[in-house]
């Protein structure tokens, strides 16, 4: 069994890169043995082979959910409705299109999507004060969500 | 005869934003053009005032597909400016990473951007339904290219370890050996790619143009991607430091990209330009594939850029196996890559997947960048694409609007344009 934990986002666009920041912090944490961490960056398309080769996948990304910035929620594919994206274009290829392509090729593995409400999506390599201020809670949430999802214990 | 009034706003399956406009009146072509409308991104200005060791990390962000190509053109320019000669080991490892990127990008274009047109589907998602094996193979090949990059430079895009005069961390020989094994294992998939493309008939268009690419320096026998002189199919040759005499960039208010021109009214760069200029230097395995695809040099049909990419992918795959052998046989050694920054101006020319790329910088004696210039392949192709469209439309004017629109989009996509990379600031002067 392997569990792919992938952080998505552009670290040059403030909170847009929060998923990547979190994966980078997780690298220094004790994690369940099955977990493989990946910085998915902005090339969503390139993570598809890794998703299809994994037994379970956790995706961490900024998500506009209409909540207070720094809030964190998790979803499974059954309880989110993926929007119909634009026609395939490298420029705009987002997670919904990647997952759609994946589901046409093969059946997707069980997935957990973790969304973090952003405050600032604008040029800059740092996270907003609001998201930084909630980082401890976010990490705790993400960490427990991974443990719940994998049902593994950390050695 | 039907008249056409086509405006394709933001053509899909290309990188960035570009429009196609075509208008005919009583069978006469009034307009057939491609306009770059992507917002400018100011990378050259962002380099000014930054230190020599930061420049590569800034410019590599110009592109998410040919990030290593931008990094290498940048390093070559900085090294030329400071009279630094990197070691043979550094050059060989750089060639490996550039080949990895060419594999990644060529398979992305041939399969995901161009193939849906040839196989009669709108995009890769229906392609995955009708030709699942094709998409699975394509994903595998693209991933191989990304993994080569990750092995050598620490990240699948936006290289980390590439530095002026060497590497901040050398690749692990065992990982390099494992990558070589994967390239060898991928050969049947590459062969299947050739089989697929040998069944495809590209649309017809014949227009002789000028082809510009790197060419061998001093009788070098290598199909040049990483170094060489700049050559034109019309016979001229230049050192990379004279790149401005080749591209002669100028601003056109219709485009956010500049336009280029050498001897002919327009010129072409990219896989077909390289193929036409350097056919004799291709490996025998790639020449055999060119024959199978019925591609002979010189070829004057721009739709064949995609076919030339298939030929190059074969060349690069075999070359990768040999290059990795060379590096591993010699053994990867830690080297002294220290250097002293100094004042100077230098240019680097590298063949990236979409064609020849120029970077040039001026540094002061502290190694602070005073001036930067990046001339991207798509910028160089814009005028040629427009000339092709003007030649194409009268030959297809009797077709339906949908067919004309599709053929124009396919022509644009054949160039594999990277429009985001090509944009420049237009200086506005109020008088």
Residues of chain B with Cβ-Cβ distance to A88 below 8 Å are: 12-13, 112, 123-125
Neighbours of A21 (CB within 10 A): 24
| A13 in reach of chain B (CB within 8 A) | no
More confident residue, B13 or A92: B13
User: Nearest CA to CA, how far is A68 from chain B (Å)?
Assistant: 31
Task: Assess whether pLDDT exceeds 70 at residue B217.
Answer: yes
Q: Do B12 and A88 touch (CB under 8 A)?
A: yes
User: With an 8 Å Cβ cutoff, is A125 touching chain B?
Assistant: no
Is residue B14 a part of any domain in this protein? no
User: How far is B69 from B75, CA to CA, in rounded Å?
Assistant: 10
- A8 min Cα distance to partner chain B (Å): 14
Give the residue on B whose Cα is nearest the Cα of A11. B61
Reference A36, options A61, A7, A75, A8; nearest CA is: A7
Q: What are phi and psi of B369, to 5 degrees?
A: -70, 125
Mean pLDDT value across chain B:
90
**Edge-to-edge strand order for the sheet containing A3-8?**
A35-41, A3-8, A56-62, A111-116, A72-76
Quick one: average pLDDT of A2-17?
91
CATH no. for residue B273?
Answer: 1.10.645.10
Residue pair B412/B203 in contact (Cβ under 8 Å)? The answer is no
Please check whether residue B420 touches A, CB under 8 A: yes
pLDDT surpassing 50 at residue B359: yes
Residue B137 is predicted with a pLDDT of 92
Query: How many domains in chain B?
Result: 1
- Does any domain span residue B415? no
pTM of the model: 0.89
- CA B350 to each of CA B193, B247, B324: distance values in angstroms, whole numbers, following the listed order: 26, 14, 20
Distance separating alpha carbons of residues B138 and B127, to the nearest angstrom: 11
Which residue range forms the structural domain that includes residue B258? 53-68+85-336
The predicted pLDDT at position B246 comes to 96
Dist. CA A4–CA A34, nearest whole Å: 8
| Structure tokens that stand for B111 in this block | 């399969």
- For the stretch B150-200, pLDDT in tens is 899 987 788 989 999 999 999 999 999 999 999 999 999 999 999 999 999
Higher pLDDT, B405 or A152: B405
pLDDT in tens, A48-88: 889 999 999 999 999 888 899 999 999 888 877 766 655 44
Q: How far apart are the first and last CA of chain A?
A: 16
Nearest CA of chain A to the CA of B370: how many Å? 23
Rounded Cα distance, B257 and B262, in Å: 17
Number of residue pairs across A and B with CB atoms under 8 Å?
59
pLDDT at res. B420: 59
User: What is the pLDDT confidence band of residue B42, given thresholds at 50, 70 and 90?
Assistant: confident
Q: In the prediction, which pLDDT does B230 show?
A: 97
**B46-65, pLDDT tens digit by residue?**
999 999 999 999 999 887 78
* Binary contact (B143, A49; C-beta < 8 A): yes
Predicted local distance difference test score (pLDDT) of residue B429: 31
Burial A26-60 (b: 16+ CB within 10 A, else e): beeeebbebbebbbbbbbbbbbbbbbbebebbbbb
Residue B396: predicted pLDDT:
92
Q: Is residue B425 part of a domain?
A: no
Sign (positive/negative) of CA torsion B351, B355, B358, B359?
negative
Domain assignment present for B309: yes
- Asked if the model's pLDDT at residue B260 lies above 60, the reply is yes
Q: Is the pLDDT of residue A89 over 50?
A: no
pLDDT in tens, B386-419: 999 999 999 998 899 889 988 998 999 899 887 6
* Domain boundaries defined on chain A: 3-150
Closest residue on chain A to B420 (Cα): A91
Task: Kindly indicate the confidence band of residue B10, based on its pLDDT and cuts at 50, 70 and 90.
Answer: low
Q: What pLDDT, on the 0 to 100 scale, is given for residue B299? A: 98
Architecture of the domain made up of A3-150:
3-Layer(aba) Sandwich (3.40)
Residue B233 — pLDDT band, cuts 50, 70, 90? very high
């Amino acid at each position: 069994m392997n569990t792919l934990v992938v952080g998505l986002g552009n670290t040059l666009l403030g909170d847009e890169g929060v998923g990547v920041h979190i994966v980078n912090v997780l690298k220094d944490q004790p994690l369940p043995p099955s977990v493989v961490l990946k910085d998915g960056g902005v090339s969503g398309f390139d993570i598809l082979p890794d998703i299809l080769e994994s037994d379970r996948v956790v995706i961490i990304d900024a998500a506009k959910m209409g909540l207070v910035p720094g809030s964190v929620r998790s979803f499974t594919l059954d309880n989110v409705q993926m929007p119909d994206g634009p026609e395939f274009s490298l420029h705009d290829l987002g997670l919904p299109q990647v997952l759609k392509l994946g589901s046409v090729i093969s059946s997707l593995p069980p997935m957990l999507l973790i969304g973090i409400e952003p405050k600032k999506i604008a040029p800059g390599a740092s996270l907003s004060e609001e998201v930084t201020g909630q980082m401890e809670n976010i990490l705790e949430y993400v960490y427990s969500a991974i443990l719940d999802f994998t049902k593994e214990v950390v050695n | 005869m039907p008249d056409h009034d086509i405006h394709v706003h933001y053509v899909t399956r290309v990188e960035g934003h570009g429009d196609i406009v075509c208008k005919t009146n009583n069978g006469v072509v009034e307009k057939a053009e491609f306009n770059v409308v992507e917002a400018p991104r100011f990378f050259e200005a962002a380099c000014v005032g930054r230190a020599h060791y930061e420049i590569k990390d800034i410019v590599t962000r110009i592109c998410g597909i040919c990030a290593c190509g931008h990094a290498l053109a940048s390093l070559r320019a900085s090294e030329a400016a400071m009279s630094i000669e990197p070691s043979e080991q550094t050059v060989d490892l750089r060639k490996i990473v550039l080949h990895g990127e060419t594999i990644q990008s060529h398979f992305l274009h041939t399969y995901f951007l161009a193939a849906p047109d040839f196989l009669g589907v709108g995009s890769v998602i229906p392609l995955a339904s009708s030709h699942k094996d094709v998409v699975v193979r394509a994903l595998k090949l693209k991933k191989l290219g990304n993994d080569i990059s990750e092995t050598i430079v620490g990240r699948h895009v936006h290289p980390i370890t590439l530095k002026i005069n060497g590497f901040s961390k050398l690749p692990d020989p065992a990982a390099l050996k494992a990558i070589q094994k994967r390239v060898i294992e991928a050969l049947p998939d590459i062969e299947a790619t050739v089989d697929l493309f040998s069944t495809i008939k590209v649309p017809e268009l014949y227009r002789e143009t000028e082809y510009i690419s790197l060419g061998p320096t001093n009788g070098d026998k290598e199909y040049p991607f990483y170094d060489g002189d700049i050559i034109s199919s019309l016979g001229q040759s230049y050192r990379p430091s004279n790149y401005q005499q080749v591209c002669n960039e100028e601003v056109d208010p219709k485009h956010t990209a500049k336009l280029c021109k050498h001897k002919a009214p327009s010129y072409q760069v990219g896989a077909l330009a390289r193929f036409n200029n350097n056919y004799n230097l291709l490996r025998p395995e790639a020449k055999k594939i060119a024959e199978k695809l019925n591609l002979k040099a010189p070829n004057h049909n721009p739709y064949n850029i995609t076919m030339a990419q298939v030929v190059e992918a074969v060349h690069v795959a075999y070359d990768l196996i040999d290059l990795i052998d060379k590096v591993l046989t010699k053994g990867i050694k830690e080297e002294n890559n220290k250097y002293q920054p100094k004042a100077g101006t230098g240019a680097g020319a590298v063949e990236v997947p979409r064609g020849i790329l120029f970077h040039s910088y001026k540094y002061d004696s502290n190694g602070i960048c005073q001036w930067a210039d990046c001339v991207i392949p798509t910028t160089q192709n814009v005028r040629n694409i427009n000339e092709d469209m003007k030649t194409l439309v009268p030959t297809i004017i009797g077709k339906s609007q949908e067919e004309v629109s599709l053929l124009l989009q396919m022509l644009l996509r054949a160039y594999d344009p990277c429009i985001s990379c090509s944009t420049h600031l237009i200086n506005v002067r109020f008088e």
